[in-house]
Amino acid sequence: MKVLNDLLGYKNRKLYQDNKMFNFTLDSVLVARFCNLNSKKKKICDFGTNNAVIPLILSKYTRAKIIGVEIQNKAVEIANENIKLNGLEDQIEIIHADIKEFSKLHNQEFDLVVCNPPFFKMDGNPKLKEISLEVANARHELLITLKDIIKSASRCLKNKGNFTIVHRSERLSEIINLFYKYNIYPKRLRLIQSKKTDNAKMILLDGIYQGNEGMELLPTLITHNDDETYTDELLKYFHD
């Protein structure tokens, strides 16, 4: 069933979602707001755009051209509906493609690549049978691996372009190793905790293609108060 929602606290942003598919989460908001959107960013690519939530958020803060790449048919249809719904056809374009193949055709084209990827490796998880194929593809590395994503980003980025990703903290060392393998230098890292007493389960990482050594560890972002409400800092992410 397709439903229409306001995009959190963002004025003039609405989106359709299908409750049988993977709907956007806090991760998408955080990675979009973590992107370095300076005036040099003229062309941006969102890998695995799903319903185009990341391009919709980015468009509030930049006039850059934004390309969303998505392989799943239903997600592409909904993403295109969302672009039209918000009147952003001139700024955002959705391309139906495999990221790996797309990257071969768009060498050194983008100033920024952003990705909220599948978090979990394909390991024969029996629970995969309990969820829809669309959700399984979004959560698990069935169609693309972390290595594929970072390799593809390195192809698409211009010299000194940024790659920004959100992921599970237990895969941080793997991510950093792959960054270096494909000549992306980690520059900004932020840990995300649910509460002050919790371990960090998520990370935000930004790197520069053909950059230099030197990474900044930013203050940890705590998302929830003890009473389960959002923290004041997190609430700032939900508004213009």
114: helix, strand or coil: strand
Whether the pLDDT of residue 42 is over 70: the answer is yes
For position 16, what pLDDT does the model report? 78
What angle do the packed helices 146-156 and 172-181 form, to 10 degrees? Answer: 40
Share of the chain above pLDDT 70, in %: 83
157: helix, strand or coil: strand
Whether the pLDDT of residue 138 is over 90: the answer is no
Q: pLDDT (tens digit, 9 = 90+) per residue, 103-121?
A: 999 999 999 999 999 866 7
Q: pLDDT (tens digit, 9 = 90+) per residue, 186-196?
A: 999 999 999 99
Question: Can you tell me the mean pLDDT for 146-165?
Answer: 98
> Residue 101 belongs to a domain with what CATH number?
3.40.50.150
Q: pLDDT (tens digit, 9 = 90+) per residue, 44-61?
A: 999 999 999 999 999 999
**Domain-embedded: residue 156:** yes
Neighbours of 150 (CB within 10 A): 25
Whether the pLDDT of residue 1 is over 50: the answer is no
- Using only C-alpha atoms, the chain has a radius of gyration, in whole angstroms, of 17
What are the C-alpha distances in Å from 130 to residues 20, 25, 125, 137? 12, 20, 10, 13
The answer to whether residues 167 and 117 touch, using CB atoms and an 8 Å cutoff, is yes
d(CA 187, CA 185): 6
**Domain-embedded: residue 30:** yes
**Domain-embedded: residue 211:** no
Q: What is the pTM of this model?
A: 0.89
Higher pLDDT, 102 or 119: 102
In which domain, by residue range, is 137 found? 2-183
Question: Can you tell me the mean pLDDT for 68-81?
Answer: 94
**Domain-embedded: residue 214:** no
d(CA 135, CA 65): 28
For position 142, what pLDDT does the model report? 73
**Domain-embedded: residue 118:** yes
Higher pLDDT, 129 or 68: 68
**Domain-embedded: residue 195:** no
Number of residues in the chain: 240
Neighbours of 155 (CB within 10 A): 20
Question: What rounded mean pLDDT belongs to the chain?
Answer: 88
**Domain-embedded: residue 218:** no
Higher pLDDT, 96 or 135: 96
DSSP string, 163-232: EEEEEEGGGHHHHHHHHHHTTEEEEEEEEEESSTTSPP-EEEEEEEET--S--EEPPPEE-B-TTSPBPH
Question: Can you tell me the mean pLDDT for 66-88?
Answer: 95
The answer to whether residues 68 and 52 touch, using CB atoms and an 8 Å cutoff, is yes
Question: Can you tell me the mean pLDDT for 201-218?
Answer: 97
- pLDDT band, residue 15 (cuts 50/70/90): confident
**Domain-embedded: residue 169:** yes
Retrieve residue 69's tokens. 């790449």
Nearest Cα residue to 2 out of 22, 23, 12, 16 = 16
Whether the pLDDT of residue 29 is over 50: the answer is yes
The answer to whether residues 174 and 212 touch, using CB atoms and an 8 Å cutoff, is no
Higher pLDDT, 239 or 103: 103
Q: Is 171 exposed, middle or buried (0-12, 13-18, 19+ CB in 10 A)?
A: middle
State the total domains in the chain. Answer: 1
- pLDDT band, residue 39 (cuts 50/70/90): very high
Question: Can you tell me the mean pLDDT for 208-235?
Answer: 94
